[in-house]
Amino acid sequence: MAIYELRCRDGHRFEVIQSFTAPLPGCPECGAPTGKVPSTFAVGGRASVPPPPERMPQTWRGTYGADREYVAGLRRTAERRRALEERHPELAGDRRPIVAHEGRYEHAPLRAGDHPLTHASGHTHTHGHGHGHGHGHGHGHAEGAGKGTP
């Protein structure tokens, strides 16, 4: 015996306990033919979203020295993510290649086309002065201290 939730074409819903092989009863309100409604508790498993490419390991060390089984799992995860992004392009994000992902770019990878001195927040890196180093005069560095003093 099983419990079925049934619905007729007019939208009336009800439950019935009956054998798997028994024919479905008509609607008790209007007598119309009925059909099974998928049960919410019958859906099992756990949904998980594969991580985006920038959260996948990017280094030799991150793949445990290119461990064959681990890398095969990473490939399966990447394939699941690619299939998900094909079905839902809004999840794809920035597809430009990552050119730097370590050091200061660990949390905001540098992508092809980004200016290397612009951070992910959009702020441009500066040294606090409007000119580069190696210009021959001092501005607080040890090699320039004392120059021009008699």
Domains of the chain: 2-43 (2.20.28), 47-112 (no CATH)
Backbone phi, psi, residue 132, to 5°: -85, 175
Taking the whole predicted model, whether its pTM rises above 0.75 is answered as: no
Quote the pLDDT of residue 135.
Answer: 45
Please state, in angstroms and rounded to a whole number, the distance separating the CA atoms of residues 59 and 128: 34
Parts of the chain with a pLDDT under 50? 124, 126-150
pLDDT on residue 145:
45
pLDDT given for residue 33 in this prediction = 93
Residue 109 pLDDT: 81
